[in-house]
């Protein structure tokens, strides 16, 4: 491993580990140079790349070499460990070293899962074929690289491919398919972000495994994108990463580890906020169908319990000033079948039986259907705000904006819109003030309107 560095020693350390075919110095140009703060960048060339003359042996060996370097230089406090593709494989091995204090981890295109026998056998030969194609017809051989990463990076990758020997190609291919699943404590999981393109192989293979074994890790899926394409194509890619390590990114806490009494307490807080809300004179909203405080609690408790069990219920801080429930892309989960059935049964009880529930649903979906159904018909992906509430004693202190900014940040990373609907004109006006746009107003009955709102990804305040 050949080490390159940029910046001043003493500044917070950022390690950038390159993917196959891109050198450490090129990755500094693509990613490192775009950080706004003052950092000390370590951008190694792994075996077979750039200034490193030795062939690539294994991700484990590269991690060991980097660990030795960090130990010798006394650089064990790491602000950010960033890896792309092959660099993720090395990063996952580096995370096994307990003497390193790594604050944040960002892995783009991580090959976490062990792939099938067939994929393990053909992956390296495919890389050999790619190299041969570049030798025989360079323009054709790099055409996919050009589409994903642009001409400059594609030409750089072609030059790197031509320098690979057979040993390096074989070992790189192996480490891209064998997977790596170190034991990561929950506190570290909360500081790890996994970023995949929707169209890449690892989204289908590694993402489900990450959700299972590291449930607290953040997962980003880039709609319509291929492997590691975001680093070259998304203008604010580095800006969003830097927000994570500086604390300027909007942060919410996913509620976990609660018992039933705590879930009921939260449900009561939310139900009271909804029941005590003073509607605009044009609307009576949900109160038209749920007339008592206890029925409101039953209705809200069903939603809160399902959201909590599905991992899509967030709060603003340990004081729990406000609560946010999300669905769709980037929500962090989805309501499961069993929880959904339980939620429907409880809602039926709160609404006073099946006939009343049917009238409520028909009203909510009337006059052209919800914005969600219209988006689904257009086959558009979105992040939906299912519920947002600030407790009465904390209203007017900026918590609604904080929750909206959190949802906006999730959606912007995935290049998708945020949608919601609400049952009151004044509520709709507040959402518009915070960046949403009124899509349409649906007449759903006497003094009952639904206000559909949307914020497209390119709309900024």
Residue 461 has pLDDT above 50, yes or no: no
Residue for token pair 């609690």: 297
Task: Count structural domains, the chain.
Answer: 2
Two tokens, residue 250? 């909007």
Helical segments of 311-398, H only: 337-351, 354-364, 371-377
CATH number at residue 173: 3.40.50.1820
For 299, residues 6+ apart whose C-beta sits below 8 A from its C-beta are 271, 290, 346, 347, 350, 351
Kindly state the average pLDDT of the residues 329-355.
Answer: 76
Same domain? For 48 and 167 the reply is yes
> Which of 198, 213, 246 finishes a domain?
246
pLDDT, tens only, 94-130: 999 999 999 999 999 999 988 888 888 888 888 888 8
* pTM higher than the cut 0.75: no
Q: What is the C-alpha separation between 305 and 311, in angstroms, rounded?
A: 10
Kindly state the average pLDDT of the residues 254-281.
Answer: 90
Q: Half-sphere exposure of residue 16, counting CA atoms within 13 Å on the CB side?
A: 26
Residue 373 has pLDDT above 90, yes or no: no
Cβ burial of 259 (10 Å; 0-12, 13-18, 19+) is: exposed
Same domain? For 348 and 368 the reply is yes
Kindly state the average pLDDT of the residues 335-344.
Answer: 77
pLDDT of the residue at 419: 95
For 218, residues 6+ apart whose C-beta sits below 8 A from its C-beta are 192, 193, 194
Cβ count within 10 A of residue 257: 6
Q: What is the C-alpha separation between 127 and 148, in angstroms, rounded?
A: 17
pLDDT, tens only, 179-233: 888 999 988 998 899 999 999 989 999 999 998 999 888 888 888 899 999 999 9
Give the domain extent around 324: 253-455
Q: What is the C-alpha separation between 206 and 211, in angstroms, rounded?
A: 9
Domain assignment present for residue 261? The answer is yes
Q: What is the C-alpha separation between 373 and 169, in angstroms, rounded?
A: 48
Mean of pLDDT over the chain: 89
pLDDT of the residue at 333: 64
Same domain? For 440 and 372 the reply is yes
Residue 315 has pLDDT above 90, yes or no: yes
Residue for token pair 């991700």: 59
Kindly state the average pLDDT of the residues 144-148.
Answer: 91
pLDDT of the residue at 153: 94
Region of 423 (left: φ > 0; alpha: ψ -120 to 50; beta: rest) is: alpha
Domain assignment present for residue 269? The answer is yes
Same domain? For 305 and 446 the reply is yes
The answer to whether residues 181 and 96 touch, using CB atoms and an 8 Å cutoff, is no
Residue for token pair 């990373």: 413
pLDDT of the residue at 407: 92
CATH number at residue 286: 3.40.630.30
Same domain? For 172 and 130 the reply is yes
Domain assignment present for residue 460? The answer is no
Same domain? For 242 and 266 the reply is no
Region of 78 (left: φ > 0; alpha: ψ -120 to 50; beta: rest) is: beta
Query: Confidence band (pLDDT; 50, 70, 90) for 459?
Result: low
Same domain? For 280 and 407 the reply is yes
How many residues appear in the chain? Answer: 461
Same domain? For 290 and 232 the reply is no
pLDDT of the residue at 339: 75
Same domain? For 131 and 185 the reply is yes
Domain assignment present for residue 202? The answer is yes
Two tokens, residue 65? 């070499």
Kindly state the average pLDDT of the residues 245-251.
Answer: 79
- Dihedral through CA 86, CA 161, CA 226, CA 174, nearest 10? -40
Q: Report the chain's C-alpha Rg in angstroms.
A: 25
pLDDT, tens only, 61-79: 999 999 999 999 999 999 9
């Amino acid at each position: 491993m050949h080490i390159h560095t940029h910046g001043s020693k003493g500044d917070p350390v950022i390690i950038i580990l390159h993917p196959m075919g891109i050198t450490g110095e090129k990755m500094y140009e693509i990613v490192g140079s775009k950080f706004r703060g003052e950092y000390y960048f370590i951008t190694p060339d792994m075996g077979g790349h750039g200034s490193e003359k030795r062939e690539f042996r294994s991700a484990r060996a590269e991690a060991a070499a980097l660990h030795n370097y960090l130990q010798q230089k006394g650089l064990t406090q790491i602000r950010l460990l960033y890896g792309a593709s092959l660099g993720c494989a090395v990063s996952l091995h580096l995370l096994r070293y307990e003497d390193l204090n790594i604050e944040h981890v960002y892995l783009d295109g991580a090959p976490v899962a062990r792939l099938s026998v067939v994929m393990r056998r053909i992956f390296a030969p495919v890389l050999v074929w790619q190299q041969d194609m570049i030798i025989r017809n360079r323009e054709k051989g790099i055409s996919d690289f050009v589409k994903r990463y642009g001409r400059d990076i594609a030409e750089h990758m072609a030059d790197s491919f031509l320098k690979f020997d057979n040993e390096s190609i074989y070992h790189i291919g192996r480490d891209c398919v064998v997977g790596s699943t170190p034991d990561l404590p929950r506190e570290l999981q909360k500081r790890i972000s996994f970023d995949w393109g929707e169209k890449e192989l690892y989204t289908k293979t590694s993402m489900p495994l990450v959700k299972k074994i590291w449930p607290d890790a953040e997962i980003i899926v880039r709609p319509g994108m291929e492997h590691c394409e975001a680093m070259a194509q998304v203008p604010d890619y580095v800006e969003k990463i830097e927000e994570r390590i500086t604390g300027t990114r909007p942060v919410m806490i996913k509620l976990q580890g609660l018992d039933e009494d705590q879930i009921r307490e939260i449900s009561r807080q939310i139900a009271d906020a909804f029941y005590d809300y003073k509607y605009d004179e044009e609307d009576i909203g949900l109160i038209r169908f749920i007339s008592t405080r206890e029925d409101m609690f039953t209705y809200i408790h069903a939603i809160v319990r399902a959201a909590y069990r599905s991992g899509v219920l967030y709060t603003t801080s340990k004081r729990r000033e406000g609560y946010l429930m999300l669905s769709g892309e980037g929500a962090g989960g989805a309501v499961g079948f069993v929880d959904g059935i339980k939620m429907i049964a409880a809602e039926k009880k709160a609404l006073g039986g099946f006939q009343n529930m049917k009238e409520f649903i028909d009203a909510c979906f009337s006059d052209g259907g919800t914005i969600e159904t219209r988006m689904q018909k257009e086959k558009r992906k979105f992040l939906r705000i299912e519920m947002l509430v600030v407790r009465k004693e904390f209203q007017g202190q900026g918590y609604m904006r904080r929750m909206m900014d959190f949802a906006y940040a999730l959606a912007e990373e995935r290049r998708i819109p945020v949608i919601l609907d609400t049952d009151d004109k004044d509520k709709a006006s507040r959402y518009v003030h915070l960046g949403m746009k009124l899509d349409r107003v649906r007449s759903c009955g006497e003094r009952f309107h639904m206000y559909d709102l949307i914020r497209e990804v390119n709309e900024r305040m």
